[in-house]
Amino acid sequence: MVLTPPRLSSIMCRIFAACSAWISLQHCQAKHRAFACLFLLSLIIMPFTPNAHAETASCKPWPLWQAYWSHFVQGDGRVIDHGEYAEPSYSEGQAYTLFFTLVANDRSRFDLILNWMQREMAQNDLTRFLPAWKWGQRQGSDWGVLDSNPASDADMWLAYTLLQAGKLWQAPEYTKLGQAVLQNIKQHELTYLPDAGVMLSPGAEGFNEAEMWRFNPSYLPMQQLRYFATQDSAGPWASIREHSLKMLNEVTPQGLVADWVAYHKPDGWGVDKVKGPLGSYDAIRVYLWAGMLHDKDPAKAKLLGRLKGMAQAIKALGHPPMQVNTLTGASEGAGPVGFSAAVLPYLQALKQTAALQAQNQRLQAGLQAGYFKDLLGDPPRYYDQVLGLFGQGWLEQRYASRRMAAWKRSGRAAAADA
């Protein structure tokens, strides 16, 4: 075999990862070392992937990730939102961070995040309980669950990441746990709409009223629904994906999506009467997920075409707006730097080169120095970092490598799963 520069770079990357892991191994318990040694060997001898650049990108230092971990993750694995009073933790933050530990191929941090989430948010048993949405300081001095209602976006990311970890690390315990979480989602978070079929509710309770059902479009990444359909072919995932695409088609008259929408009986999809036709912090993720769809996914072109309102707003303003009215198309304010990160995959997919460069420059300009070095925004907020990790990570191909196979599927697989 000829060691071309990309292959040589890939080997060096694996050796570097193996050396780093060996240092960590010295602190492992003896009973884990045999398995860990096999893992280290696999880093070096695993088959080469066709996309050497993508694999190399996943091994490069990632300053934003390291800064995020240092400032927002506690030593025991709790992800903290410093922007709120009492600095709570949310299941979404735990699930997102779990995903990024997988992207970083860092199993020790993966277990740290997972164990805290299971112990503190799921009564120490994720096979039976979905994680509580919010955890923090109660009245007085004790800490614990503040809102036990689960959030389906966190649960989806948790199940997806566990299933991927089981496959990519050859760890059946993660696969089994991911399957259990998926079953609990089906048991507790599905709702059935008259004349519209099955949908994923934002949580286990509190979102259905008399003849009105409320939904959060950003809780429904099409990639995950497609992947779940391949893992649970008898499940509702393909139907939920189809109904979600129809929902997005019907609630975006100006090419913009709201944070919350509603299904009304007998009128069908429309404005959520509680939150109104406003899109902001939640909805920005819809453009992010759409941009990250595989190019051969039949839904991608239609979805991007339906969501062009955000690209038009960015072109007019020079940045993503803080808030949009999905009925009138009006916008106001400048979105934080995390919004610019979130639209990077979306603008890349639309081939909006000038806008892509401008938002990436805004992202780079938002990086801090000093104590908050490599974090986004002033002050740095948890949500901006997460959007930055998703958007920047995608642009740098950090999880379009073999380690995140579900995000980089062949055209045939993407079409078959759609």
Sign of the C-alpha dihedral computed for residues 346, 219, 100 and 364 taken in this order = positive
Using CA atoms, how far apart are residues 161 and 179, in angstroms rounded to an integer?
11
Please state, in angstroms and rounded to a whole number, the distance separating the CA atoms of residues 350 and 276: 28
Q: Given the residues 55, 81, 106, 153, select the one marked as catalytic.
A: 153
CB environment 217-243: b (16+ within 10 A), e (fewer): bbbbbbbbbbbbbebbeebbbbebbeb
Secondary element (H or E) of residue 136:
strand 134-137
Q: Enumerate residues 6+ apart whose C-beta is below 8 A from 64.
A: 367, 374, 375, 376, 385, 388, 389, 392
CA dist 139 → 76, 85, 89, 117, 145 (Å): 22, 13, 16, 22, 12
Nearest residue to 283 via CA among 219, 214, 204 = 219
Q: Is 153 a catalytic residue?
A: yes
Tokens of 33: 């070392």
**Structure tokens, 279:** 């899109």
Q: What CA–CA distance (Å, rounded) separates 100 from 393?
A: 9
Instruction: Give the SS3 label for residue 207.
Output: coil
User: Among 207, 204, 160, which residue's Cα sits nearest to residue 181?
Assistant: 160
Q: Residue 148: phi, psi to the nearest 5?
A: -85, -10
SS3 166: helix
Closest CA to 280 of 317, 328, 332: 332
- Distance in angstroms (rounded) separating the CA atoms of residues 407 and 96: 15
Task: Dig out the tokens for 66 from the structure.
Answer: 């390291």
**What letter would DSSP give residue 60?**
S
**Catalytic residue chosen out of the listed positions 92, 106, 189, 282:** 92
The HSE-up count of residue 336 (CA atoms within 13 Å, CB side) is: 19
Report in angstroms the alpha-carbon separations of 14 from 1, 22, 99, 168, 315: 17, 12, 21, 15, 41
Q: Which residues are catalytic?
A: 92, 153
